[in-house]
Amino acid sequence: MTVPSLSCSIIILHLKHFRTLFPLKERKRTIMKTVLLIVLFFFFQNFKTSSSIHHKYDAIYNFGDSLSDTGNFLLSGALAFPVIGKLPYGETFFRHATGRCSDGRLIIDYIAEAFGLPHLPPYLDIVREKKHVKTGVSFAVSGATALDTQFFYAQGLGPLVWTNDSLSVQLGWFKKFKSSLCSTKQECDEYFKKSLFLVGEIGGNDYNYPFFVGGSIKQAQALAPLVVGAITKATSMLIEEGAMDVMVPGNLPIGCSAVYLTIFGPTSNQSDYDPRTGCLKAYNAFARYHNQQLKRSLQMQRLKYPHARITYADYYGAAMRLYHTPKRYGFKEGTLKACCGGGGPYNFNNSARCGHTGSRACSNPSAYVNWDGIHLTDAAYGHISKGLIYGRFTSPPLTSLLGN
Ligand SMILES: *[C@@H]1O[C@H](CO)[C@@H](O)[C@H](O)[C@H]1NC(C)=O
Ligand SMILES: *[C@@H]1O[C@H](CO)[C@@H](O)[C@H](O)[C@H]1NC(C)=O
């Protein structure tokens, strides 16, 4: 920042004085030289910044829930949700089930593709098969919470909890795994300098569990500081382990999800719905509330760790575009109805969820935002990812890190 402004003042000084210093002919030559110098200066200036910022990552490490689980939950037993191990899950992109909660790729898969890296293998497969991987791993587990699950057990929500592999368990896995990546501090620092760490999305389930048994929005708001605190603590821990680049996504617009619309609707009060999208206003407002708190907390983290690059990823904003202008993204069948489900106004029926008897998948998933009532389609995740990678939904922007 200081360099260009300094060079500008030198140029002004130069122009003011050379009229008096040089005769006309020489003046012309000097103007040409000056112009050439300015052009060259800016050329090299640009060249220098682009080659130092536009580097590619060598690895991505990811923590989270079903939005970024590439197979851990399935490998851990998946008692609560075994259908993700069968078609139609995975049908669109992989053509077989991988344990991802979608018909295809997740946001994390699109991000890996953008940086020229392989899709992140699930951590539990790497340890089971004793594989050696240095290009990244996903530690995310479907159903995982930011808070430890004892918290939910203590509130009587235990029967709802899909998995005990909460964020702190996933961080424990990372610490164990780290010794296979690098040994000395210097070696780790070198390696992590070119690694991206994604903490989330996580926290959505911390609210889902209480909401699904009738918890109020007020209660969820009271929970938010704890959830945000757990996410922030995980970010600190990773930075203290050597992470330099951490991206923390916020929550999606949950008021637009078929499961929320089914459980909390239909309401007799039309003003509960956003007239433009049909989404439940109060639940979207709550997602924004969580995101605001998270952003504020990340701002404090930036002050605490000025050497690290902490990015907020606005999943809410990137997803909201799809609900506002669905046709622009090819979502011809509307945005709120699930592609795969067992009927009902939003094609979400809890006793015939996608993959269970009585459900069926649509023939054109890319025309739908919502895949199974809870999770989104390969197409929707693709458009959200584009907004994150090339759009304005990461701050500071992720694009500045992409190679040309
Ligand atoms: C989680 O841990 C509790 C004990 O703390 C146990 O009772 C429960 O079965 C575990 N749940 C899962 C899904 O593994
Ligand atoms: C409908 O909801 C709005 C707020 O969402 C509220 O102000 C209004 O009183 C409600 N009307 C009825 C009839 O419940």
Convert the pLDDT of each residue in 263-277 to its tens digit: 998 888 999 999 999
The pLDDT assigned to 12 comes to 35
Q: Which of 218, 68, 231 is nearest to 147 (CA)?
A: 231
Phi and psi, residue 70, nearest 5°: -95, 10
Least confident residue range of 16-25, 41-50, 329-338, 394-403: 41-50
* 269 Cβ below 6 A of ligand 2: yes
Distance from the CA of 271 to the center of ligand 2, in angstroms? 6
d(CA 109, CA 101): 12
Q: Which has more pLDDT, 388 or 56?
A: 388
With 60 as the cut, is the pLDDT of residue 94 above it? yes
Q: Please say if the pLDDT value at position 126 is more than 50.
A: yes
pLDDT of 337 > 60? The answer is yes
**Cα(226)–Cα(206) distance, integer angstroms:** 10
Predicted pLDDT at 268: 86
Strand partners, 269: none
**CA pair distance 93, 106, nearest whole angstrom:** 10
User: pLDDT tens digits for 160-212?
Assistant: 999 999 999 999 999 999 999 999 999 999 999 999 999 999 999 999 999 99
Does the Cβ of 30 fall within 6 Å of ligand 1?
A: no
Sole residue written with tokens 């991000």: 111
User: Per-residue pLDDT averaged across 321-345, rounded?
Assistant: 96
The alpha carbon of 60 and the centre of ligand 1 are apart by a number of angstroms equal to 29
15 pLDDT higher than 50: no
Residue 16 clears pLDDT 70, i.e. is over it: no
Contacts of 235 (CB under 8 A, 6+ apart): 199, 246, 248, 298, 301, 310
Residue 127 has pLDDT above 80, yes or no: yes
Which atom, in ligand 1's list, is nearest to the CA of 164? 1
**Which amino acid would we find at residue 218?**
K
Q: Pairing state of beta strands 245-249 and 309-313?
A: parallel
Ligand 1 centre to CA of 233 (Å) is 23
User: Which pLDDT score, from 0 to 100, does residue 20 have?
Assistant: 47
The pLDDT of residue 301 is 97
For tokens 């070696």, the residue is 187
Structure confidence at residue 174 (pLDDT): 98
Query: What is the distance in A from the centroid of ligand 1 to the CA of 165?
Result: 10
pLDDT of residue 9: 32
Ligand 1 within 6 A of 164 CB? yes
Is residue 97 over pLDDT 60? yes
Q: Report which protein residue has its CA nearest ligand 1's atom 2.
A: 164
Nearest listed ligand to the Cα of residue 169: 1
Nearest to 331 by CA among 381, 398, 390, 265: 381
Which ligand has the shortest distance to the CA of 273? 2
- Mean pLDDT, residues 283-311 taken together: 97
Which residue's C-alpha comes closest to atom 5 of ligand 1?
150
Per-residue pLDDT, averaged over 254-283, amounts to 96
* Euclidean distance between CA atoms 218 and 74, whole angstroms: 34
> In the 8-state DSSP scheme, what is residue 306?
T
At 217-234, the pLDDT tens digits run 999 999 999 999 999 999
Please tell me the residue having the least CA distance from ligand 2 atom 3. Answer: 271
Q: Could you tell me if 140 and 69 are in contact, meaning their C-beta atoms sit under 8 angstroms apart?
A: yes
- 191 versus 23: the higher-pLDDT residue is 191
Q: What is the predicted pLDDT for the residue at 18?
A: 43
Spatial contact of 346 and 338, defined as CB atoms under 8 Å apart = yes
SS3 102: coil
Q: Among 217, 271, 281, name the best residue to mutate to test ligand 2's pocket (greatest count of ligand atoms within 8 A of Cβ).
A: 271
- Position 52 scores a pLDDT of 30
3: pLDDT strictly greater than 50: no
pLDDT at 79: 77
Q: Measure the CA–CA gap between 81 and 78, rounded to whole angstroms.
A: 5
Question: Ligand 2 center to residue 279 CA distance, Å?
Answer: 16
With a 6 A CB cut-off, is 163 part of the ligand 1 pocket? yes
DSSP per-residue string spanning 65-131: STTT-SSHHHHTT-TT-GGGGSTTTTTTTTSS--S-SSSS--HHHHHHHHTT-PPPPBHHHHHHTT-
| Percent of the chain residues topping a pLDDT of 90 | 80
Using CA positions, which residue lies closest to atom 1 of ligand 1?
164
Helix and strand totals (H; E) in the chain? 14, 8
Atom of ligand 2 nearest to the CA of 282: 5
How many angstroms separate the Cα of 161 from the Cα of each of 27, 75, 171? Answer: 79, 17, 19
* pLDDT above 70 coverage of the chain, percent: 85
Q: What is the mean pLDDT of residues 342-350?
A: 97
Report pLDDT for 56. 80
Q: Is the pLDDT of residue 81 over 90?
A: no
Residue 313 Cα to ligand 2 middle (Å): 33
Domains defined along the chain, listed by start: 59-401 (3.40.50.1110)
Atom index in ligand 1 nearest the CA of residue 161 equals 13
**Does residue 80 register a pLDDT over 90?**
no
The answer to whether the CB of 271 is under 6 A from ligand 2 is yes
Tell me: pLDDT of 42 over 70. no
**Measured from the CA of 269, which atom of ligand 2 is nearest?**
1
CB burial of 300-327 (b: ≥16 within 10 Å; e: otherwise) equals ebeeebeebbbbbbbbbbbbbbbbeebe
Q: Residue 46's pLDDT band (boundaries 50, 70, 90)? A: very low
Per the CB < 8 A criterion, the answer to whether 89 and 375 are in contact is no
* Average pLDDT across the chain, whole number: 89
198 C-alpha to center of ligand 2: Å? 40
pLDDT band at residue 33 under the 50/70/90 scheme:
low
Poorest-pLDDT segment among 9-18, 36-45, 386-395:
9-18
Total residue length of the chain: 404
Query: Do 60 and 113 form a contact (C-beta atoms < 8 A)?
Result: no
The average pLDDT across 36-42 equals 58
- What single DSSP character describes residue 245? E
Which residues are known catalytic residues? 66, 372, 375
β-pair partners for 59 = 195
Q: In DSSP terms, which residues pair with 311 in a beta bridge?
A: 247
Task: Report which protein residue has its CA nearest ligand 2's atom 14.
Answer: 269
